[in-house]
């Protein structure tokens, strides 16, 4: 009796599903329920009396300054896009803003883009510049960060509240239209090919206004986000200096802010966020003589273009696989004359400091290898590029021309540190922008290479069914960093059940080194050192200091199994291809190479009396104490410390990195394979009491003994590397390695790639499979060193 009812219900249900799917297909709707969008909008206007970029603020206009943005969730970790009505946010301020917004959205800072709209009657933020001024005994002036912290608190609260009101995201819309009589090129060339006239934001000289409009991008691009037929947010992109007039001492968003407000009134259900494009050499000067009425006229023209772009909008259904965030870190070449700002700043006025201190701060960071991310958000057939500095319009036009088959928009004025970034052709032409630029003509090649790579990058297919990306005991994909960290905590506990738990590191004192001897080489000195890692245990190590070291990257180098211990990585052992410490020191790295307990000077180590539950955990503790030492050395940049090791050192490199987030990059050579692939043969298993018997020795993890002979451990190397992600892990896995199965490595890498893709760093998981045995061949070492050099932004020829 029930069967017909069930059949009828099933037929009806399938019919409804078919009908809904058909309608969805016809209307371009997405059936993916995992995507959502949240919007936030806060007041970014400082209190009266605060310093704006160029003047002390006396009032605010009716609109004030805003910080607006969106959070996209459901495709990897959340993605945050934010535009603020400030002149610029640079250097350490970018780091802090991204970190705080990421924390609020439960994501990682690399998936946060923070841009200024670049209005001039607004604040500037650069905590690096502030520190330089304060440390030099100077008033920070416009760089005082007091209100920055207020705005950060507001943003953090607003993002948390916005996430609780998220709405389903089903579609993305794109539209563009011409904006008439707003933008014109600032640089007018004379017959000699040099800049002869400068057409600023407001140009009183009619003869200069009358020059042709010049090269601009006349289009405003709109990207909208939808829940079915309901618009949720509209992002607009237009390249122009956003000034009609300024130095009013009144905080105001100028004509782009007014245009944005006009569109907000027209489409009130959607949050309107405006991004400035590559407008370094673009301003309103041809159409603006500085008359106050022109602010409203320019706003109306920009709003008219936005309205037409809205009317031209077409929608495309979105699902989680259509959205992808990627970034390409770049190190822009610096004009070495920028270093002179440090001396000149003592005799200059506040406005000069506003225009120059962020350049000096950027230069110092550049010298330390601090890269700036160029980001790209993929939304189906749409790409949004996120770039630093004040870029010439040619970059925006080139990006659009590079992929005419896609809808490409560009947001510039990200990290404001690099200031003006011209094209290679512009530097011989001179002019204000070039004279003020802290970068060189070679920057064009660096930026365009990154843009092309991002625009042509194949969109990886995310494996949502990967167990690492699912909630514990659930088929529901992870959405937030908080959910990821909950899983990570479980892996940590499983690892600790075998290795043991580290002692508390609170109130630790940095170990004092005892220097036993030294040997000078051509470009470094090798010191033989010793220090107490705790009351019971000593660390003996080689410390390599390149001559004239300051703020260099450092490497912890861990040796393989052998009586020589640290001597192995110094090249003193019988095997070739092991002198990693000496080679890295020769490249200019600060290097520390310790003995592992029971090898080298620690050959008589008593594991029964060291106070640690496993030799592996003591190794982790000692290695972390080495990081303590390196982090406090003037020769070392504490934000650029990595670890490298072969065999025994290869898995110890992974173990210490899993415990210590200060380690930013890992190279593991012949150091791991999943435990299920570890095979020592029948004779070996019999000798050691089981297949994983060698791992149960006192010098490793004796708790494994209770799992023998089957030895199904509660954690694996895939868990270890997942805990390290998204930090780079470079693996050397020779195809003839008899210790660690290359097939196991390949299986594990396939499991781990989706994790790195989900976090937006697919290139941070690197593996090489040389035709070799248990060795670290020269060609792979060369690749590993080059990878470290690139990641740390390091060159031994750089001036330190």
Cis peptide before 709 (omega within 30 of 0): yes
Q: How far is the C-alpha of 650 from the C-alpha of 657, rounded, in Å?
A: 11
d(CA 551, CA 530): 23
Please name each of the domains of the chain with its CATH number. Answer: 32-456 (no CATH), 477-674+716-792 (3.40.50.1820)
The DSSP H or E segment spanning 131 is helix 127-135
Residue 463 CB partners (closer than 8 Å, separation 6+): 469, 753, 754
Phi-psi region of 308 (alpha: psi -120 to 50; beta: other; left: phi over 0): alpha
Residue 503's CB is within 10 A of a number of other CB atoms, namely 12
Please list the residues that pair with 83 across neighbouring strands. Answer: 68, 115
* CA 790 and chain centroid, separation: 14
Residue 409, burial from CB neighbour count under 10 angstroms (0-12, 13-18, 19+): buried
| SS3 assignment, position 460 | coil
Do 410 and 399 meet the contact criterion of CB atoms below 8 Å apart? yes
From residue 649, give the alpha-carbon distance in Å to each of 406, 561, 589, 690: 47, 8, 18, 23
Nearest to 151 by CA among 235, 91, 108, 89: 89
Sign of CA dihedral 350, 355, 358, 363: negative
The answer to whether residues 171 and 30 touch, using CB atoms and an 8 Å cutoff, is yes
Low pLDDT (below 50) residues in the chain: 1-31, 797-800
Residue 343 is encoded by which pair of tokens? 């001396």
| Contact (Cβ atoms closer than 8 angstroms) between residue 234 and residue 273 | yes
Spatial CA neighbour of 224 closest among 167, 274, 175, 168: 175
**Whole-Å CA distances, 411 to 120, 196, 240, 730:** 18, 29, 11, 33
Q: Do residues 283 and 241 lie in contact, with contact meaning Cβ atoms separated by under 8 Å?
A: yes
Asked if 361 and 132 count as a contact pair (C-beta separation under 8 A), the reply is yes
| Residue that is written with structure tokens 């200019």 in the block | 588
How many CB atoms lie under 10 A from the CB of residue 354?
23
Cα-atom radius of gyration of the chain, to the nearest Å? 29
Strand blocks (E) in 144-186:
167-168, 171-178, 184-185
CA–CA gap between residue 480 and residue 560 (Å, rounded): 38
The verdict on whether omega for the bond into residue 726 sits within 30 degrees of 0, i.e. cis, is: yes
- Written as six digits, the tokens of 396 are 């925006």
Tell me the C-alpha distance between 797 and 607, whole Å.
44
**Rounded-to-10 torsion of CA 95, 223, 213, 412:** 10
Q: DSSP 3-state assignment of 88?
A: strand
Cα angle 204, 205, 208 (rounded to 5 degrees) comes to 120
Q: Which of 546, 555, 232, 281 is nearest to 392 (CA)?
A: 281
In contact, 385 and 113? CB cutoff 8 Å:
no
Predicted local confidence at residue 27, as pLDDT: 38
What is the SS3 assignment for 646? strand
Q: Is residue 637 a contact partner of residue 665, using CB atoms and an 8 Å limit? A: no
Which of 777, 743, 761 has its CA nearest to residue 673?
Answer: 743
Q: Is-contact 273 81, C-beta < 8 A?
A: yes
Q: Can you give the three-state secondary structure of 712-723, one letter per residue?
A: CCCCCHHHHHHH
3 state SS of 179: coil
């Amino acid at each position: 009796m029930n069967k017909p009812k069930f059949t009828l219900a099933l037929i009806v249900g399938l019919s409804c599903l078919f009908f809904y799917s058909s309608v969805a297909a016809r209307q371009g709707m997405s059936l993916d329920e995992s995507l959502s969008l949240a919007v936030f909008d806060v007041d970014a206007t400082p209190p009266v009396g605060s310093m704006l970029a160029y003047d002390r603020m006396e009032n605010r206009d009716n609109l004030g300054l805003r910080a607006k943005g969106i959070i996209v969730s459901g495709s990897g970790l959340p993605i945050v896009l934010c535009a603020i009505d400030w002149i610029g946010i640079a250097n350490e301020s970018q780091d802090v803003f991204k970190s705080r917004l990421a924390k609020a959205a439960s994501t990682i800072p690399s998936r946060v883009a923070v841009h200024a709209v670049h209005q001039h009657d607004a604040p500037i933020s650069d905590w690096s510049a502030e520190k330089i001024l304060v440390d030099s005994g100077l008033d920070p002036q416009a760089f005082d960060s007091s209100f920055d912290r207020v705005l950060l608190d507001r943003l953090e609260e607003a993002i948390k509240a916005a996430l609780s009101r998220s709405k389903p995201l089903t579609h993305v819309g794109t539209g563009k239209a011409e904006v008439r009589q707003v933008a014109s090129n600032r640089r007018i060339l004379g017959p000699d090919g040099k800049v002869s006239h400068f057409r600023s934001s407001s140009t009183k000289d009619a003869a200069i206004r009358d020059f042709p409009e010049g090269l601009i991008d006349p289009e405003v691009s709109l990207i909208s986000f939808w829940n079915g037929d309901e618009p949720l947010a509209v992002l607009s992109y237009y390249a122009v200096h956003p000034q009609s007039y300024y130095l009013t001492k009144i905080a105001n968003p100028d004509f782009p802010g007014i245009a944005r407000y006009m569109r907000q009134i027209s489409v009130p259900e959607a949050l309107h966020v405006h991004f400035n494009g590559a407008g370094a050499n673009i301003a309103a000067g041809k159409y603006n003589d500085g008359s106050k009425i022109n602010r409203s006229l320019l706003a109306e023209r920009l709003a008219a273009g936005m309205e037409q772009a809205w009317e031209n909008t077409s929608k495309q259904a979105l699902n989680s696989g259509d959205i992808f965030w990627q970034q390409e870190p770049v190190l822009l070449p610096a004009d070495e004359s920028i270093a002179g700002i440090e001396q000149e700043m003592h005799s200059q006025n506040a406005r000069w400091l506003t225009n120059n201190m962020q350049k000096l701060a950027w230069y110092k960071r550049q010298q330390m290898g601090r890269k700036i991310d160029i980001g790209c958000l993929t939304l189906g057939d749409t790409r949004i590029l996120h770039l630093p500095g004040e870029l010439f319009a040619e970059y925006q036009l080139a990006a659009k021309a590079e992929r005419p088959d896609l809808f490409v928009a560009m947001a510039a004025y990200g990290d404001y540190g690099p200031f003006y970034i011209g094209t290679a052709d512009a530097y011989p032409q001179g002019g204000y922008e070039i004279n003020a630029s802290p970068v060189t003509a070679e920057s064009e090649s660096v930026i365009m290479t990154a843009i092309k790579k991002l625009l042509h990058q194949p969109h990886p297919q995310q494996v949502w069914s990967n167990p690492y990306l699912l909630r514990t005991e659930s088929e529901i994909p992870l959405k937030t960093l908080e959910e990821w960290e909950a899983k990570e905590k479980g892996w940590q506990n499983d690892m600790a059940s075998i290795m043991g738990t580290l002692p508390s590191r609170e109130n630790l004192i940095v170990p004092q080194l005892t220097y036993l001897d030294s040997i000078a080489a051509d470009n470094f000195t090798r010191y033989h050192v010793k220090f107490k890692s705790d009351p019971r245990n000593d660390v003996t190590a080689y410390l390599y200091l390149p001559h004239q070291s300051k703020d260099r990257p450092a490497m912890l180098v861990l040796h393989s199994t052998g009586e020589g211990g640290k001597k192995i990585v110094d090249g003193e052992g019988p095997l070739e291809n092991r002198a990693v410490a000496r080679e890295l020191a020769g490249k200019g790295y600060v290097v520390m190479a310790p003995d592992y307990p029971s090898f080298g000077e620690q050959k008589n180590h008593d594991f029964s009396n060291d106070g640690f539950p496993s030799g592996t955990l003591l190794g982790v503790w000692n290695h972390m104490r080495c990081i303590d030492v390196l982090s406090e050395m003037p020769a070392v940049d504490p934000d650029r410390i990595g670890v490298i090791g072969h065999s025994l050192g290869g898995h110890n490199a992974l173990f210490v990195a899993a415990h210590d987030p200060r380690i930013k990059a890992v190279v593991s050579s012949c150091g791991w394979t999943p435990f299920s692939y570890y095979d020592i043969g029948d004779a070996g298993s019999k000798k050691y009491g089981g297949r994983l018997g060698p791992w149960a020795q006192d010098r490793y993890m004796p708790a494994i003994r209770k799992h023998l002979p089957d030895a199904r451990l509660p954690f694996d190397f895939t868990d270890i590397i997942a805990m390290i992600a998204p930090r780079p892990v470079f693996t050397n896995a020779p195809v003839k390695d008899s210790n660690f199965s290359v097939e196991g490595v390949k299986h594990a890498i396939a499991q781990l790639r989706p994790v790195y893709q989900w976090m937006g760093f697919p290139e941070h998981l690197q593996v090489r499979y040389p035709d070799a045995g248990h060795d670290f061949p020269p060609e792979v070492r060369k690749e590993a060193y080059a990878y470290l050099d690139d990641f740390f932004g390091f060159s031994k020829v750089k001036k330190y």
